[in-house]
Structure 1
Amino acid sequence: MSTPKIREAARAIVLDEADRVLLLRYDEGDGVFWATPGGALDPGEDHQTATRRELAEELGVTDVKLGPEVATRSKEHLIYGETTRQIERYFIVRIPARHVDPARATQTDDILAWEWWTLADLRATGQVVYPVGLTELIDSFLANGAPASPFAFTG
């Protein structure tokens, strides 16, 4: 058994002025799912820089002020047919909904849809949403602020 390739990634939990979360819809080899914006770090890039770049590429937003790092996730899955362990760091980002303009996105990376979700809708959905535990993390953040150390997603 070979050791999987490591891929560092940065992701944003984007909240608007009504505390809705922005999720992106994908249809990949293992099915349709919703996920937070973000992606792999470019060579020499840190997680904060990668998060800002990904938000510009996927959402068409620039000049983003990052909030705290609130979570991490390590997950093994196929990327371009290769088993990869993706290690993600999640940052809170507050953006007014009107500033998100997918028409200005420069790299949509097979994104099928952009949608703002209320936490009630997220709790009630039967659709697949990654990372597992996102709703609970947002609930905790809104009630208590950033955790003392990043929460570790398991799914």
Structure 2
Amino acid sequence: MAPPLRPAARVIALDDDDNVLLRYDENGGFWATPGGSLDSGEDYPTAVRRELREELGVDDAQVRLGAQIAERSKIHQVGGHDVRQVEKYYLAHLAATAINPARATQPDTTRARRWWTLDELRDTRETIYPLGLANLIAEIRAAGVPDTPVVLR
């Protein structure tokens, strides 16, 4: 039997210098883009804004939310059960000053937040999700937002 579907919205947040914001998750020791599962009846852009508010304390007015630029599907465990998570990644622009952990209502397992340069993403030995994030950002810098979402592994 196939695992149940778990739709998730994630955000590739860039600052004015095209640095990308990642959060460190202690439950597995990896860096990842902010985001999470959709609430019942919620669309993806609304979920992106909610997740930024919950995880990072970002006020909606400080986010310039763009189009969906990528997607990824993976099977992993949530609450001890396998799910097939389908993630849609949206591009957002925000200033570093928009991050306010004191306003975060659900920081979950986030232990750190950091802005990464493209070179740092390429050179690190730390685990970064999604795989291929550096290449995706490089393509956006070179050619702009893709016409259709890129499939990530």
Fold equivalence (TM over 0.5): yes
Percent of aligned positions with the same letter in both sequences? Answer: 50
Moved more, 131-140 or 60-69: 60-69
Amino acid at match of 1:127: E
Q: 1:65: how far off? A: 2.6
- The match for 2:116 is 117
- Aligned equivalents of 2:93, 2:64: Cα separation in 1: 8
Q: Is the 8 A contact 2:71 2:151 kept in 1?
A: yes
Runs of 4+ in 1 over 2 A off after TM superposition: none
- The match for 1:152 is 151
- The match for 1:45 is 42
- The match for 1:76 is 75
- The match for 2:107 is 108
Q: 1:15: how far off? A: 0.4
Give the secondary structure class of the aligned counterpart of 1:11. strand
Normalised to the residue count of structure 1, the TM-score between the two structures is 0.94
- Aligned equivalents of 1:70, 1:41: Cα separation in 2: 18
Give the secondary structure class of the aligned counterpart of 2:148. coil
Q: Structure 1: any 5+ residue segments left out of the alignment? A: none
Q: How does 1:3-152 map to 2 (within 5 A)?
A: 3-28=2-27, 31-63=28-60, 64-152=63-151
Q: How many equivalent residue pairs? A: 151
Q: Structure 2: any 5+ residue segments left out of the alignment? A: none
